[in-house]
Amino acid sequence: MLSLILGSAALGAGFYYTRRFVRERLRFVTAVQRPAAPVVAGVVATALAVPVVALLPIVGAGTAVATGVGVAVGVATGRRDHPEP
C-alpha cells in the first residue's frame, strides 16, 4: 500500500513541477514544441529515477515509470498552456 502511495505521489509531483516549469521557463523554447519532447523527457526522467528507486527497499520500478509518465504528461500539458502575462 505504501508503494502505491509513493508511486502516486511521484506521478503527481512529476506532473505538477514539470508542467509549471514548462509553462513559466520554457514557453518560448522551440525544442519543447516538438512532438517528441514529452517522450524524451519521460524517458530521461525514468532513466534518472531507476538508480534512485533501486536503492530504496519500499519502492519499485513502477515508481520510476510513474515519475516518467508524470513528467511526460506534464511537458505535454505545459506546452499547450498559455498563462496570462
Average pLDDT score over residue span 32-44: 94
Q: How many residues does the chain have?
A: 85
pLDDT of residue 82: 60
> What is the pLDDT confidence band of residue 47, given thresholds at 50, 70 and 90?
very high
Q: Identify whether the C-beta of residue 19 lies closer than 8 Å to the C-beta of residue 76.
A: no
> What is the pLDDT confidence band of residue 46, given thresholds at 50, 70 and 90?
very high
pLDDT at 72 over 60: yes
CA 65 to chain centre: 10
Average pLDDT score over residue span 54-66: 89
Helices (H), 1-85: 2-25, 37-55, 61-80
pLDDT of residue 30: 87
